[in-house]
């Protein structure tokens, strides 16, 4: 399986969710972009795990993003990813920038956040950002947008 970097794009109705050690986090209504890497032995199969969790909601949360995947206020709309061997999720998060949830999804790096907020669907922005970094983005629709 290919390895790579990905974005999970969620739509939510505005809510507060308990996110593990981060505690209760208030999420404004809109769109949230989670930036992650799939460089381990399973590679981009990690996306399949996220999608399965969002659809079945039967497992216990392991990572910060799992709390969103399991919450009824969040809908996983689509994923954008690019196969690669380099660790670029931090650069992708920094390039996308903007408001985010402090310390979300970035316990193994020095980034401010790997969960960013947008008021509108960020699809075009994400595609443009991937391409600006020399990446060839692939979109995987999960649920209707």
At 5, give phi and psi (nearest 5°).
-120, 145
Among all chains, which residue has been given the structure tokens 């922005």? 125
Q: Where are the domains of the chain?
A: 4-141
pTM exceeds 0.85 for this model:
yes
Least confident of 20-29, 58-67, 112-121: 58-67
Residue 47 has pLDDT above 90, yes or no: no
HSE of 78 in the Cβ direction (CA atoms, 13 Å)?
Answer: 15
- Local structure of 57: helix, strand or coil: coil
| DSSP summary character for residue 52 | H
- Local structure of 48: helix, strand or coil: helix
Residue 145 has pLDDT above 60, yes or no: no
């Amino acid at each position: 399986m290919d390895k790579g970097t990905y974005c999970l794009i969620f739509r939510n109705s505005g809510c507060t969710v308990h996110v593990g050690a981060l505690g209760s986090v208030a999420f404004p209504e809109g769109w949230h972009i989670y930036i992650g890497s799939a460089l381990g032995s399973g590679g981009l199969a990690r996306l399949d795990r996220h999608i399965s969790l969002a659809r079945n909601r039967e497992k216990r949360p392991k990572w910060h993003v799992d709390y969103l995947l399991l919450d009824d206020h969040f809908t996983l709309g689509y994923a954008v990813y690019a196969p690669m061997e380099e660790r670029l999720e931090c650069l992708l998060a920094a390039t996308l920038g903007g408001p985010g949830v402090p310390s979300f999804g970035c316990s193994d790096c020095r980034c401010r956040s790997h969960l960013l907020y947008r008021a509108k669907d960020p699809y075009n922005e994400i595609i443009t950002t991937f391409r600006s970094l020399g990446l060839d983005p692939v979109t995987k629709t999960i649920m209707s947008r």
